[in-house]
Structure 1
Amino acid sequence: MSVWILTPRRILWDVVCIAEVIVSVVVHLSYGLSVFGSAVWIDVMSTLSASRPQSRRHAHARVHPIVDENGENSKFVADDDDDDDDERATTRAVKQQHVEGFGAHVLEGHHEKPPIVLLHGIFGFGKEKLGSLSYWGGAEQRYDRILVPDLGALTSIHDRACLLFYYLKGGTVDFGLKRSQQFGHSRFGRTYEQGHYAEWDENHPIHLVGHSSGVQVARHLQHMLAEKAFPGHKTTSADWVLSVTSLSGAMNGTTRVFLDGICPEDGQTMKTISLLQFLRIGVLFYEWLDIPALKKYYAFGFDHYNLSWHKAGMSGLRDTMLGRSGPFAARNWVIPDLSIQHAVEVNKKLQTYPNTYYFSYATKHTRKVFSQILPKSFLGTHPLLFLRALQICLWRHPSHLPPPYDVYRDEDWQDNDGALNTVSQLYPRIPIEHPHCEIGTESTNDEVLQPGIWYYTTLQADHIYFIVNRDRAGVHFDLLYDGIFQRCHTQMRRVLKCQPVEAVKSLCNL
C-alpha cells in the first residue's frame, strides 16, 4: 500500500525535476547565445564603422545616469564625449581623495607600477576571446598596466593557475607530470614565446583581481609560488603577489553546484539528469568538432585533453560521452572545484600570506521577508540568476547526509547573489577562519590596514552586476573599479604606513 502511495509522488517529483532542468537549460543556453551573438554583432558594427567617415561629435552622445543622494538612478541625461570625459575625470579626482589616506607606497628602488591582472570566473574569457566584447565591461581600459588573460571557461582551478603563471612569465605551460598522469591529459600545453610580465619576481610583484572562481585561481597560484611548484623556477615565493582582490569570490564553495547537478554526497560526481549533464555533452561535442574559427573566438580550455576529432577520432568521442575519459570523467574541471566539500580540502593548504594585502567585495541580492530569505527583487535580478537565487534561498542540505563541515548551518548559506552564497565570498572561513576585518562596521580610528588580513565589505548586487554589461551597474561600476585600481596603483610597499582606517572605509563602502 505504501509503495502505491509513494510511486505517484516519486513520478511527480521526477517530472518537476526534469521540467526544472529543461527550463535551466533553455535559460542558460539563451543567455550564452545572446552573449555570443552580441560579441559578433559588436565586431561587425565596429568593422562597418571603421569603414565609414567619422560622424559629427554629437552623434556620439552617451546616456549616463545622474545618481541621487541615496545612490539610486533618478534620471538619465545625454552628454557628448567631452562632457563624459570631464565627468570621468571628476569621478577619478574624488576617488583619489579617498585613497590619499593610504599614502604613496612604492617598492624600494622601483617606481614602476606593478601590473594588475584580472582573472575571470566560470564561462569567462580573456582579451583574446569574443572579439571586442569585454568580460570586465571595459574596466581594463580605465587604467594602464592591466592584463586580461584567457584561462579557459571551464578548466580546473589548478590548470588555470598553471596557465596564468606561464602567461605572465613566458614558456611552455607545464601542468606537472604527476597531475597529468592522474587526470589523463598531456603534461604540456601552449607556449608563450614572450611572457606578458617576464620580469615578474619578488621585486616586481603583481596585483591579482579575481571574479567568482577567479579569486581561487589567484590563491592557488600564490600557494604554488610559495611551494616552488613550477619546474625550472626555484626562486618563486608568495611575495611575488602584492595583493589579492576578490570580487564575488568563491572562496568557500557554493550550494549552487548541488542545484546544477553535483551530488551533495561527495561534491564531485554528477547526477544522471541535470543541467551539468547537458553542459557536458555540449562541451564535449564542441571540443570534438574543433572548428578553428569558433575555438579562436571562444574556448572552454580543454586543449590539453586532445579531444578533437583528428586526435581522438570517433572512439574518443564515444569514450568521453560515456564518461570513460576526458576532463569530466576525471572531475578535473571547475564545477567540482566549487563544491563546499572541495573548498574545505583546498582551504586546508591555501594560506593567507603575511606580506600580501587581501580585499574582498562580497555581493548579496536577497532580503528577509518575515522569516524567509528571498531574492531582493524580480526586476533587479538578472534573468539568468533569479531562479537560482530563489533555489539557493530554499536549498537545505539532505538530512541523511553528514554536513560538509562540522559547524555547517543551512541558514548561513541562504543569502546569495544568484550564483554564490554571500557567506562564501567574505573571506576564507572553512574549515578554519583566516584573519579578517569588516570595513565600515566595527573599525575604529586606531586601526590600520595591514597585510595578511582579509578586509571585506558587502555590496547590494547580483553576481554579474559588475561584469560584461557596464551600463547595468552605471556609476557604481566606475566607483568600484576606480577604487580597486587606484588602491593597487598606490599601495605598493610591503610595510604600510600607519594611516587611519577611515580612508579605507570611504573607499570600500560604495
Structure 2
Amino acid sequence: MIRWWISALQLTELFVSSLVHLVYGLYVFSTAVAADWFLKPNLVKMVDSKRSNSVDDLPPIVLVHGIFGFGKGRLGSLSYFAGAEKKDDNVLVPDLGSLTSIYDRARDLFYYLKGGQVDYGEEHSKACGHSQFGRTYRKGNYPEWDENHPIHFVGHSAGAQVVRVLQQMLADKAFKGYENTSENWVLSITSLSGAFNGTTRTYLDGMQPEDGMSLTPISLLQLCRLGVTIYDWFDIPWLKAYYNFGFDHFNMSRKKVGIRGLVNGLLRNNGPFATGDWILPDLTITGSIRLNSRIRTFPNTHYFSYATKRTRKIMGITVPSGIWGIHSLLFIRVLQMSQWQHPPDVTPPYKGYRDEDWWDNDGALNTISMTHPRFPVEHPSRYVVQDSQCQPLQPGIWYYKIVEGDHILFIINRERAGVQFDLMYDSIFERCRKHAFRKTPILPNQVDQ
C-alpha cells in the first residue's frame, strides 16, 4: 500500500518540487539582486581573495559546498554555510561548479588555493569534450599551501568527496608544474552528510541504475538538464555573476556555438550531459564505487564525519521520523528513499548488496553512505556518540557520528537548526584548532642530552 501511494505521488511531486524550487530560487535571487545591485554590484565579479599576504599562524579551514551549492560572492550576501564561516578568523569558502563533476571540482579547488589557471588535464579534457583550461586565479587564496602549511577541509554532501579526490590527486602528483605535492598537504577532512558511497536518490530523480550514466526520458533530472543547457547557452553575464553551474569550460554559450550548439546540447549530442562529466553520475552507487576504487585513506590525515538521518522503524517498516523536523522539499524524498528497491533485473552495484541497508536516509543521501568510505573496500572507522570518545584524535581513521537531521539542516538556514547548528560548528572548529594537528618530528640533535 505504501509503495502504491509513493508511485501515485511521484508525478505530483515532480511538478510541485520543480515549482517550489523555481519560486524559492526566484525569491532568493531577487533578494540577492536587490541587496547587491545597488549597494555593491562589482564585488561578486571578483575572483581573487582579499586575504592579506602574510602567512597566518593557524592553517585555514576551507568550507566546500555540495551539489547546487555556491561559495562566497554568489547569490549576494547569502551564505551556503549559514554564516558558520564567521566563527573562525581564517576560513575560506570557494565557489566551485555546482553541477560539475567531482574531478573537475577538485581541479578547480586546487587552483583556487594555489593560484594560476585551472588545468583539467589534456587526457581528461579530450575524453570529456571540454577545454583543457578554465578560469584564472591571479593570486591564490592560500599560495603558501604545501606540506609545511597544510589545510583543514570541511565538505558538505558532494563537497566531502571532492576533497578526498583532491587529496588523492595531491598524493599522485597530478598537477603539472607541482611535482612536490603529497597527501600531507591535507591536515584534516570533516564531512557533513558526505556523499562517500553514492545515493539511491539519483535513481529516483532519473539516473538509470543499469549504467549510472544515462537518464530516464521523463524525470526531474531531464528537466534539470534542459534548464541548465538553456541557462548556459544564453550566457547572460550579470545573471551568471550571481549563480553559475560551472560549465564555462564546455563552451556552451550562444556566442560560441549558435543555434546549432543549443540544439545539439538539448539533444545530448555534446556537452557535459553527453559525456557524463557532471556531478550526478558520480553520485550513483556505481559511480561512487568507481571513484572510491582509486581513493585511499591516508595515515597522517585526521578524518571525521557527521552522518544525518531522518528515518525510524515502526513495526519493521522504515518511515520518516517526523513531519515538522524534515524540510518540506525533502519529506517525500525521505519517504521514497526509505522504500527504495533495486530493480530485480539489474545487477546489484556490489556483492552483498541489500535494499534495507540503504533505507535510512536524510532526504538526499542514504545514511550508510555518509559514515565513511565503504565500497568497494571498507576504510578504517570508529563510531562515536560524544566527541570526547575520539580524543586524542588518531589519524587514518574515519570517526563518525549519526545526527538526527535532514540533508540541509546545517546549511542555508541557521535558525532552522537552532542551538544544534552552533554546537556542531563550534566542535568542528575546536577539533581543527586543538585536536587535529601534525606533530613536528624531533631530530636527534634536538633531543636534550
TM-score of the alignment, normalized to the shorter chain, above 0.5:
yes
Local SS of the residue matching 2:306: strand
1:263 to 208, 215, 228: 208
Give 1:369 shift: 1.6
**Identical columns (%):** 57
2:209 is equivalent to residue 209 of structure 1? no
Q: Give the match for residue 308 of structure 2.
A: 363
Residue identity matched to 2:24: Y
Local SS of the residue matching 1:314: helix
Q: Give the match for residue 14 of structure 2.
A: 21
Mapping of residues 273-352 of structure 1, within 5 Å: 273-352=218-297
Distance in 1 (CA, whole Å) between partners of 2:317 and 2:345 is 23
Q: Give the match for residue 475 of structure 1.
A: 419
Supply the RMSD in Å over aligned alpha carbons.
2.3
CA separation of 1:15 and 1:386: change in aligned 2, threshold 3 A: closer
2:345 is equivalent to residue 423 of structure 1? no
CA separation of 1:45 and 1:490: change in aligned 2, threshold 3 A: farther
Give 1:485 shift: 1.0
Distance in 1 (CA, whole Å) between partners of 2:350 and 2:94 is 34
Q: Give the match for residue 125 of structure 2.
A: 180
1:33 to 20, 26, 29: 26
Distance in 1 (CA, whole Å) between partners of 2:286 and 2:62 is 28
Cα deviation code 1:439-468 (max 9, x no counterpart): 1389979x8421000000011111001100
Q: Give the match for residue 394 of structure 2.
A: 450
Q: Give the match for residue 47 of structure 2.
A: none
Q: Give the match for residue 140 of structure 1.
A: 85
Local SS of the residue matching 2:188: strand
Mapping of residues 49-448 of structure 1, within 5 Å: 112-440=57-385, 448=392
Give 1:407 shift: 1.3
Residues 449 and 496 in structure 1, CA contact (< 8 A), matched pair in contact too: no
Local SS of the residue matching 1:394: coil
Cα deviation code 1:135-162 (max 9, x no counterpart): 0001111111100000011011000000
Moved over 6 A (4+): 12-16, 44-47, 441-445
Distance in 2 (CA, whole Å) between partners of 1:144 and 1:215 is 22
Mapping of residues 1-16 of structure 1, within 5 Å: none
CA separation of 1:417 and 1:46: change in aligned 2, threshold 3 A: farther
1:489 to 417, 420, 433: 433
Cα deviation code 1:165-212 (max 9, x no counterpart): 000000000000001100000000011110000000000000010000
Cα deviation code 1:303-352 (max 9, x no counterpart): 00111110111111010001100011111111111000011111111110
Distance in 2 (CA, whole Å) between partners of 1:368 and 1:168 is 44
2:388 is equivalent to residue 460 of structure 1? no
Distance in 1 (CA, whole Å) between partners of 2:228 and 2:243 is 12
Unaligned runs of 5+ in 2: 41-54, 442-449
TM-score normalised by structure 2 residue count: 0.90
Residue identity matched to 2:423: L
Residues 116 and 147 in structure 1, CA contact (< 8 A), matched pair in contact too: yes
Local SS of the residue matching 1:493: coil
Residue identity matched to 2:397: I
CA separation of 1:454 and 1:274: change in aligned 2, threshold 3 A: same
Give 1:16 shift: 6.7
Give 1:44 shift: 7.2
Give 1:45 shift: 9.8
Cα deviation code 1:105-159 (max 9, x no counterpart): xxxxx98100000000000000021110000001111111100000011011000
Distance in 1 (CA, whole Å) between partners of 2:343 and 2:184 is 42
Give 1:368 shift: 1.1
CA separation of 1:308 and 1:489: change in aligned 2, threshold 3 A: same
CA separation of 1:44 and 1:465: change in aligned 2, threshold 3 A: farther
Cα deviation code 1:59-80 (max 9, x no counterpart): xxxxxxxxxxxxxxxxxxxxxx
Give 1 or 2 for the bigger CA radius of gyration. 1
Give 1:385 shift: 0.5
Residues 117 and 133 in structure 2, CA contact (< 8 A), matched pair in contact too: yes
How many equivalent residue pairs? Answer: 423
> Which stretch of structure 1 is more off in the superposition, 377-386 or 249-258?
377-386
Unaligned runs of 5+ in 1: 1-11, 48-109, 498-510
Local SS of the residue matching 2:338: helix
Residues 180 and 187 in structure 1, CA contact (< 8 A), matched pair in contact too: yes
CA separation of 1:13 and 1:200: change in aligned 2, threshold 3 A: closer
